[in-house]
Structure 1
Amino acid sequence: MSTLMQGLGLVIALATIGAATLAILTRSTVTAVLAAGLVSLLASVLFVVLAAPDVAMTEAAIGSGLTTFLFFFVMGRIRRESEK
């Protein structure tokens, strides 16, 4: 692996750790869900850097896209139920 790829992998890994820390420490549910989605998105980019595009596509579609959508969908349902 070239030095450029190692550097890019390190930057992505540090950004992932930062987003995960934000997801854990924030008090806002919306921010936590978005940060968790960012962790998954950065993981999919890291998989591309590591030459695993099939895993990256699965992580991006399910981990980042579907999971984040489901969190927001459920949060909307909970808010509507509590307003009744």
Structure 2
Amino acid sequence: MNAVSRTGGQDVELVINWGLGVDSTAYLVKMLEDPSAHGVDLARTMVLHELTGDEWPATRAHASQYVLPLLREHRVRLV
């Protein structure tokens, strides 16, 4: 598997594209809640995130309130 090199010589093995949709959010939360059950090393995981501007205000608020704290708690790199 090719890995993405990041600062400090650590490699990123898993890149998750998170667009605030139901599917990508559910996948992301599953990985954060129990990474070992899915064979995921969160220290080697990166989440790519971009807003298009068409998101519902409630969706953005829920992401900020629930998902971003999980990413911080697990120290997952968010780009």
Same fold, TM exceeding 0.5? no
Give TM-score scaled by structure 1 length: 0.30
Rg larger in 1 or in 2? 1
Give TM-score scaled by structure 2 length: 0.32
| Greater relative contact order (CA < 8 Å, ≥ 6 in sequence) | 2
* Structure (1 or 2) with the greater strand fraction: 2
